[in-house]
Amino acid sequence: MDIQAEKIDLVRRLLDTDDKSILQEVKNVFESHEKDFWTSLPKYVKDGIIRSKKQADAGQLTPHEEVMKKYVKYL
């Protein structure tokens, strides 16, 4: 099915429903895609992500297996 047919089918289904929860879910989907999550993050979180990305790019990572060996006793 092409994109236009998909859109028409969705519009038809939306018009046919009286279920407010379905309408709210569809609205939530659209609203969540309109927002850029990055702008909603606090500065300290953004700073941490940027710092982590730089560390990863510099090869300053600890392999998952190594971390798991060290902390398995706490799990």
The DSSP code sequence of the chain is --HHHHHHHHHHHHHH---HHHHHHHHHHHHHHHS-HHHHS-HHHHHHHHHHHHHHHTT----HHHHHHHHGGG-
SS3 of residue 33 by DSSP: helix
Residue with tokens 């046919």: 16
Q: Can you give the pLDDT of all 75 residues of the chain as single tens digits?
A: 699 999 999 999 999 999 999 999 999 888 877 777 788 889 999 999 999 999 999 999 999 999 999 998 888
Q: Is the pTM of this model over 0.95?
A: no
Residue 27 is predicted with a pLDDT of 92
